[in-house]
Amino acid sequence: MNVYDSRQIENMMRQAGYQRAGSADKADLIIVNTCAIRDKAEQKLYSLLGRLAPIKQRNPDVVLAVGGCVAQQEGKALLSRVPYLDLVFGTHTLNRIPELVARVISTKSRIVDVGIHVIEDPLPTENARGNGKEVSRFVTIMRGCDNFCTYCVVPYVRGRETSRAPDRIIAEIEALVGEGIREVTLLGQNVNSYGNREGLITFPELLLKVNEISGLSRIRFTTSHPKDLSDALIESFVSLEKLCPHIHLPVQSGSDAVLKRMKRRYTRDMFSERVAGLREKCGDIALTSDIIVGFPGETESDFQLTLDLIQEIQFDGLFAFKYSDRPNARAAGYMAKVSEKEKARRLQVLLDCQQAITLKKNRALEGTEQVVLVEGVSRMSDTRDPQWTGRSLNNKIVNFTIPEKIAPSEEDWVGRQVKVVIYKGLLHSLQGKMLA
Ligand code: SAH
Ligand code: SF4
């Protein structure tokens, strides 16, 4: 979401006459977009601001702005904490950034705007301009969240859930396709409740419309809350040819006691039942998830239940995080905190357990044919024998070569879907050779 928002900011500043500078020390304006999801993300802001301080010292006319979730959370306090900061703007102020920057410059004052305003929908073309090489883009379809999971800061910093109008989303994706984009990932904190509040179409209905956009090859989305994963959405994986067979379904914990205190509103059995439903309908759909270790009160046996669930489900990949207290989130007040050392240990045990599963799953793909959307030449590549890179339908990174006899390697394959036979499954990628 921040990637998407940052692009909107960049486009608005371009319209206001700014251009991207090569590096921070060549810029007249530095905008830092921030994430508050975990304490670590927030700390990154403070270390970055520390590194930017000498630039402001050398040239006080440089405008330094901080926006996004940490800005929304801290507001005025950020100006006091960072005396050389000029502008703090929140998550609902996106459309006002050019005006706010102009005001900082003309009044030579320090400004905070973290008010809750309606976020005007960006013009479709504003997201479109890319660097010509991009193949895949995020498209925000909803903002905010109403779920209030007890560990989570999102409802406080991003506000209530709102959905963008379908025609605006479609127009934006059509413009992206016109610029050469072939894959979109639709973004929302809980895409299943898309349109509910506004009485718009449902998420599966939106997917159907996106599926009809000609020139678009692939659709992905994130995130689907397990409690709301509907049969209609499962059906979409079967009926929509552009919807890629991969779902990110964050489970957070395998212990019902922890899930209850997290206020996730599903049990471990309900989660397993939904996964079984998915797999029954869509065979080899890839499944990834998020896990939080060390939620307050998580006992060793709760943690074992999570490990047990991981063994049972056999996810294709996991994002695992050490729990951290977030301002305003209810769990910050929960007792029985797990020590940092213990959280680190549990994280490592969990990652080791998942690594073995991921490797096993990727090795099982050796000998199979995968359809790959080509994104570019792989970074590891040497020029004599270029390695191309892209993603399979189920979202695995595939690095592959193109045999001389199939096609000259100078040909540009970016944005095209090709068939690749896999000869090696590694932990983070698959290795293959393009087929004729
Ligand atoms: N809306 C998505 C999650 C978005 S946040 C959902 O409900 O599934 C992305 C991930 O960050 C979460 O799934 C969770 O695993 C992690 N996360 C959120 N708050 C956290 C916290 N306080 N400490 C550690 N991890 C956290
Ligand atoms: Fe946070 Fe829960 Fe909303 Fe996801 S569903 S953004 S975890 S409050």
Q: What is the CATH number of the domain that holds 219?
A: 3.30.750.210
Going by C-alpha positions, the residue among 191, 97, 76, 201 that lies closest to residue 144 is 191
Asked if residue 383 has pLDDT above 60, the reply is no
Residue nearest to atom 12 of ligand 1 (CA): 290
Confidence category of residue 382, pLDDT binned at 50, 70, 90: low
Of all protein residues, the one whose alpha carbon is nearest to atom 1 of ligand 2 is 152
Six-digit token string for 217: 């090859």
Q: Is the CB of residue 223 below 6 angstroms from any atom belonging to ligand 1?
A: yes
For 49-65, the DSSP string reads HHHHHHHHHH-TTSEEE
Q: Output the pLDDT for position 405.
A: 81
In this structure, the answer to whether residues 396 and 343 fall within a common structural domain is: no
Segments in 82-197 forming alpha helices (H): 97-107, 124-128, 154-158, 166-178
Cα radius of gyration rounded to whole Å, the chain:
23
pLDDT, average across residues 176-205: 96
**Is any ligand 1 atom within 6 A of the Cβ of residue 388?**
no
Position 162 in a domain: yes
- Contact (CB, 8 A) for 12 and 95: yes
CATH assignment at residue 11: 3.40.50
CA of 293 to the centre of ligand 2 (A): 16
292 lines ligand 1 (CB under 6 A): yes
- Give CA–CA dist 338/296, Å, rounded: 6
Asked which of 186, 213, 244 is the last residue of a domain, the reply is 244
82 in the same domain as 59: yes
Q: What is the pLDDT of residues 320-375, one digit of tens each?
A: 999 999 999 999 999 999 999 999 999 999 999 999 999 999 999 999 999 999 99
The mean per-residue pLDDT over the stretch 113-120 comes to 83
- Whether residues 80 and 189 share a domain: the answer is no
d(CA 315, CA 162): 30
Beta bridge partners of 401: 433
Sign of the dihedral defined by the CA atoms of residues 45, 47, 51, 53, in that order: positive
- Is the pLDDT reported for residue 378 higher than 90? no
pLDDT of residue 121: 75
Angle, in degrees to the nearest 10, between helices 203-211 and 231-239: 10
- 291 with 316, same domain: the answer is yes
Pair (192, 281) in one structural domain = no
Say yes or no: 397 and 347 in one domain: no
Do 83 and 181 share a domain, yes or no?
no
Q: Please, is 208 exposed, middle or buried when counting C-beta atoms within 10 Å of its C-beta (0-12, 13-18, 19+)? A: middle
Give the pLDDT of residue 411.
75
Ligand nearest to the CA of 191: 1
Amino acid identity, position 161: E
The verdict on 325 and 237 lying in the same domain is no
Same domain, residue pair 170 and 223: yes
Q: In this predicted structure, what is the pLDDT of residue 410?
A: 67
Specify if 118 maps to a domain. no
Name the residue type at position 154.
V
Handedness of CA 92, 190, 299, 288 (dihedral sign): negative
Give a yes or no: residue 354 inside a domain. yes
**Which of 108-122, 141-155, 242-256 is predicted least confidently?**
108-122
Could you tell me if the CB of 160 is within 6 A of ligand 2?
no
Position 346 in a domain = yes
Q: State if residue 295 touches ligand 1 by the CB under 6 angstroms criterion.
A: no
What pLDDT does 147 receive?
96
Is ligand 2 within 6 A of the CB of residue 62?
A: no
Mean pLDDT of 382-389: 74
Any atom of ligand 2 within 6 Å of the Cβ of 152: yes
Whether 381 has a pLDDT exceeding 70, the answer reads: no
Residue 223: asked if its preceding bond is cis (omega within 30°), the reply is yes
120 lies in a domain? no
Q: Is the CB of 252 under 6 A from ligand 1?
A: yes
Predicted pLDDT at 191: 96
Q: What is the DSSP string of 266-335?
A: --HHHHHHHHHHHHHHHTT-EEEEEEEE--TT--HHHHHHHHHHHHHH--SEEEEEE----TT-GGGG-S
The pLDDT value recorded for residue 406 is 81
Instruction: Measure 296 CA to ligand 1 centroid, in angstroms.
Output: 15
Indicate which CATH number applies to the domain containing 281: 3.30.750.200
Q: pLDDT category, 125, cuts 50, 70, 90?
A: low
Per-residue pLDDT reduced to its tens digit, 212-265: 999 999 999 999 999 999 999 999 999 999 999 999 999 999 999 999 999 999
Report the candidate in 313, 285, 275 with the shortest Cα–Cα distance to residue 393: 285
The ligand with the least distance to the CA atom of 158 is 2
What pLDDT was estimated at residue 95? 86
234 and 206: one domain? yes
Ligand 2 contact, 143 CB (< 6 A): no
Q: Which ligand is nearest to the CA of 148?
A: 2
Mean pLDDT of the chain: 94
What pairing do the DSSP bridges indicate for beta strands 136-140 and 87-89?
A: unpaired
Ligand 2 atom nearest residue 148's Cα: 8
Find tokens 């894959």 and name the residue: 183
Average of per-residue pLDDT across 49-77: 96
Q: Is 292 in the pocket of ligand 2 (CB under 6 A)?
A: no
Instruction: Work out which ligand 1 atom sits closest to the CA atom of 329.
Output: 22
- pLDDT tens digits, residue range 87-101? 999 999 888 999 999
Average confidence (pLDDT) over 415-426? 96
pTM, 2 dp: 0.95
Residue 119 lies in a domain: no
Residue 259 lies in a domain: yes
231 with 207, same domain: the answer is yes
Number of domains present in the structure of the chain:
4
Q: Are residues 204 and 173 in the same domain?
A: yes
Beta carbons within 10 angstroms of residue 278's beta carbon: 19
Indicate which residue's Cα is closest to atom 3 of ligand 1. Answer: 189
Out of 364, 384, 408, a domain closes at 364
Residue at which a domain ends, from 221, 244, 267: 244
Give the distance (Å) from ligand 1 centre to CA of residue 57. 37
Identify the three-state secondary structure at position 35.
coil
Q: What is the DSSP letter of 137?
A: E
Q: What are phi and psi of 397, to 5 degrees?
A: -75, 130
Residue 181: give the domain boundaries: 125-244
Integer CA distances (angstroms), 309 to 100, 208, 254, 392, in order: 49, 33, 6, 26
Residue 201 included in any domain: yes
Asked whether the predicted pLDDT for residue 289 surpasses 70, the reply is yes
pLDDT score for 94: 85
Ligand nearest to C-alpha 334 = 1
What is the structure's pLDDT at 365? 97
Ligand 1 binding pocket includes 84 (Cβ within 6 Å): no
